[in-house]
């Protein structure tokens, strides 16, 4: 019985410690209504922005959405029109960038580019 109580105390202490640490670094997702669209800013647990973008009041993705990894590096730039995938999306993977073009919400073309010194140099 003493072991169970000791284990319970350790779990509660660890949980409280994590909650206090998270309060210092974690940010709450933000939603702002502007011009009939909801601007969303979503965060990773470490406080770094995970995604930014817009959606309509009925939860339909709209416009540009940008995704970031936990270190703040851009991983994707996407376009939506009334929930449909449109235009050219960019996916960043190390030294490569994939350019995916959508037509009728389906992939129409994919190009892979090499990035060197923050410049797109070839595919």
Alpha-carbon distance values, 116 to 30, 64, 71, 95, 112 (Å): 34, 25, 20, 7, 13
| CATH (one of 2.60.40, 1.10.3470, 2.20.110, 3.30.200) for 27-122 | 2.20.110
Q: Which pair of structure tokens corresponds to residue 37?
A: 């669209």
Strands 37-43 and 30-34: antiparallel
Per-residue pLDDT band at 59 (split at 50, 70, 90): very high
- Render pLDDT for 3-40 as a digit per residue (tens, 0 to 9): 545 444 454 544 544 444 555 567 899 999 988 999 99
Q: How remote is the C-alpha of 91 from its chain's centroid?
A: 12
Global pTM value: 0.74
H/E stretch holding 46 reads: none
What's the confidence (pLDDT) of residue 115? 81
Q: Which pair of structure tokens corresponds to residue 86?
A: 């449109």
Bridge partners of 64?
Answer: 79
- Render pLDDT for 73-102 as a digit per residue (tens, 0 to 9): 999 999 999 999 999 999 999 889 999 999
């Amino acid at each position: 019985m003493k072991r169970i109580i000791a284990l319970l105390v350790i779990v509660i202490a660890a949980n409280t410690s994590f909650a206090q640490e998270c309060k210092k670094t974690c940010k709450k997702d933000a939603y702002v209504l502007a011009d009939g669209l909801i601007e969303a800013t979503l965060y990773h647990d470490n406080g770094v922005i995970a995604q930014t973008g817009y959606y309509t009041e009925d939860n339909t993705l709209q416009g540009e959405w940008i995704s970031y990894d936990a270190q703040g590096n851009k991983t994707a730039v996407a376009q939506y029109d009334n929930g449909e995938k449109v235009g050219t999306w960019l996916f960043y993977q190390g030294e490569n960038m994939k350019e995916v073009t959508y037509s009728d919400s389906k992939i129409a073309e994919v190009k892979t580019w090499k990035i060197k010194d923050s410049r797109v140099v070839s595919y």
